[in-house]
């Protein structure tokens, strides 16, 4: 199966496709997604919150399950999570949205937060889901979550098959240096970096109240780019020397040749966050990895249909691919 997304005529350009999908496109046509939250204690004395779609309590326990790992500053309320909730409801699948630490509406307890290469956390979450679910298990990672998921698959190799039946990443910055530089440059810095920093800085300052002396608050508040923020906060808190070390070591791209489970990488070539030149070729990935690189779609955009459009085509294509290859 190959899905070649075609943007509607009324939605031209990567920025418009990105912003419209996030802010205005219809996310679902049926009932609002309902979530039931579980709190899981982590091995290091912290917690993660997992939201389970609760509209389908009558589903068989062993029906397929989709675990969705959200993007930077995302949650189960993100537009893509709600669109996938609609699609999995139609398919009769269960769905869970594990929240990276600090993203569920309550600050986490440990000094650490989350980061783009957090594959150990992804692995722990997937293993726990696998322990309690007997049916097919699929995982989708969006943007940051997709990089972490693909990084996990590359690290695990063949043993990943004991946990999941198939994975997919959507609009994921698998070359973090290329993507970080793109977000921090030109109009992207105004449109996107400022938006992310608007929530990341206050969250980091909350962390400082928990752990005084964790970082220099003046340096953090002076950060005007993701690079500068990661230099002060993300990199040192998660064991990296600096931003350059973090972006290099956390990127999933070098490990894609080691992936040994069905894996789909979907990246629009006009994604304002991800330069098309940084996307992998088939020669750079294993035979298990399928590349979808349509010309349009923006960053987690992919709205379709007549105005005002909806977001159902992409979740359908991704889950259909999983059905056929998982």
Structure confidence by residue, pLDDT tens digits, 103-147:
999 999 999 999 999 999 999 999 999 999 999 999 999 999 999
Task: Please spell the DSSP secondary structure of 223-270, one letter per residue.
Answer: --SHHHHIIIIIHHHTT-SSHHHHHHHH-SGGGGGG--S-EEEE--TT
Structure tokens at 243: 């931003």
* Domain span at 310: 14-175+253-325
Do 162 and 54 have their domain in common?
A: yes
Which residue among 203, 233, 250 closes a domain?
A: 250
Residues 182, 304 share a domain: no
CA 306 to chain centre: 27
Task: State residue 172's pLDDT score.
Answer: 98
**Is 41 contained in some domain?**
yes
Average pLDDT of span 40-65: 93
Does 99 participate in catalysis according to the annotation? Answer: no
Residue 100 lies in a domain: yes
Cβ proximity of 111 and 124 under 8 Å: no
Whether 3 maps to a domain, the answer reads no
State the pLDDT at residue 55.
74
221-240 exposure pattern, b = at least 16 Cβ within 10 A, e = fewer: eebebbbbbbbbbbbbbbeb
**pLDDT at residue 1 is higher than 90:** no
| CATH value at residue 159 | 3.40.50.1820
Specify whether 170 is located in the same domain as 203: no
In the numeric block, the tokens 């398919």 are attached to 91
pLDDT in tens, 207-251: 999 999 999 999 999 999 999 999 999 999 999 999 999 999 999
How many alpha carbons fall within 13 Å on the CB side of residue 14? 20
Q: How far is CA 105 from CA 49, 117, 217, in A?
A: 9, 22, 22
Based on the domain organization, do 198 and 288 belong to the same domain? no
- Of the residues 219, 250, 281, the one at which a domain ends: 250
Q: How many CB atoms lie within 10 A of CB 86?
A: 25
Mean of the per-residue pLDDT values for the chain?
96
174-to-229, 253, 255, 299 alpha-carbon distances in Å: 19, 5, 10, 13
pTM of the model: 0.97
Q: Are residues 241 and 263 in the same domain?
A: no
Of 232, 250, 268, the one marking the end of a domain is: 250
Q: Active-site residue 271, yes or no?
A: yes
**CA nearest to 129, candidates 79, 66, 82:** 66
Q: Do 102 and 133 belong to one domain?
A: yes
Do residues 129 and 269 share a domain?
yes
Name the band, by pLDDT with cuts 50, 70 and 90, for residue 79: very high
Is residue 303 included in any domain, yes or no?
Answer: yes
187 domain residue, yes or no: yes
The answer as to whether 5 is a domain residue is no
Residue 57 has pLDDT above 80, yes or no: no
- Residues 39 and 104 reside in one and the same domain: yes
**Strand 289-292, strand 263-266: pairing:** parallel
Tell me: do 276 and 147 sit in the same domain.
yes
- Structural domains of the chain, count: 2
Do 32 and 148 reside in the same domain of the chain? yes
**b (16+ CB within 10 A) / e for 298-313:** bbbbbbbeeeebbbbb
Residues 49 and 152 in one domain: yes
Cβ distance 281 to 310 under 8 Å?
A: no
Query: 78, 172, 299, 304: which one is catalytic?
Result: 299
Active-site choice (115, 271, 278, 304)? 271
Average pLDDT over residues 72-86: 96
Q: What is the 3-state secondary structure (H, E, C) of 259-291?
A: CCCCEEEECCCCCCCCCHHHCCCHHHCCCCEEE
Active site residue: 143, 172, 225, 278, which one? 143
Please, what's the b/e burial string for 96-122 (b: 16 or more CB within 10 A of its CB; e: otherwise)?
bbbbbbbbbeeebebebbbbbbbbebb
* Predicted confidence band of residue 24 (pLDDT cuts 50, 70, 90): confident
- Is residue 9 assigned to a domain? no
Residues 129 and 158 in one domain: yes
pLDDT on residue 56 = 72
Verify whether residue 299 is a known catalytic residue. yes
Structural domain includes residue 8: no
- Over 90: is that where the pLDDT of 161 sits? yes
């Amino acid at each position: 199966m190959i899905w070649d997304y075609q943007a509607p005529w009324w939605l031209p350009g990567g920025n418009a496709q990105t912003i419209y999908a996030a802010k205005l496109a219809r996310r679902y046509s049926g009932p609002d997604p309902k979530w039931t939250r579980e709190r899981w204690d982590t091995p290091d004395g912290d917690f993660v919150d997992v939201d389970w779609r609760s509209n389908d309590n009558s589903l068989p326990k062993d029906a397929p399950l989709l675990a969705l790992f959200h993007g930077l500053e995302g949650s189960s309320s993100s537009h893509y999570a709600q669109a996938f909730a609609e699609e999995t409801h139609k398919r009769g699948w269960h769905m869970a949205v594990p929240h990276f630490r600090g993203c569920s509406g309550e600050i986490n307890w440990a000094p650490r937060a989350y980061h783009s290469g957090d594959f150990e956390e992804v692995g722990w979450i997937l293993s726990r889901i696998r322990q309690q679910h007997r049916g097919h298990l699929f995982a989708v990672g969006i943007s940051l979550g997709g990089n972490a998921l693909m990084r996990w698959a590359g690290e695990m190799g063949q043993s990943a098959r004991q946990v999941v039946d198939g994975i997919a990443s959507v609009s994921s910055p698998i070359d973090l240096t290329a993507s970080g530089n793109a977000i921090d440059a030109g109009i992207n810095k105004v449109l996107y970096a400022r938006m992310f920093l608007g929530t990341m800085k206050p969250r980091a300052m909350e962390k400082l109240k928990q752990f005084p002396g964790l970082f220099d608050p003046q340096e953090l508040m002076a950060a005007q780019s993701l690079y500068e923020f990661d230099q002060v906060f993300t990199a040192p808190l998660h064991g990296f020397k600096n931003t350059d070390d973090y972006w290099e070591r956390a990127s999933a791209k070098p490990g894609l040749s080691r992936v040994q489970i069905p894996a789909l990488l979907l990246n629009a070539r006009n994604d304002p966050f991800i330069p098309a030149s940084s996307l992998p070729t088939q020669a750079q990935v294993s035979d298990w990895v399928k590349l979808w690189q349509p010309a349009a779609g923006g960053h987690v955009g992919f709205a379709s249909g007549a105005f005002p459009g909806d977001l159902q085509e992409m979740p359908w294509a991704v889950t259909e691919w999983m059905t056929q290859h998982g």
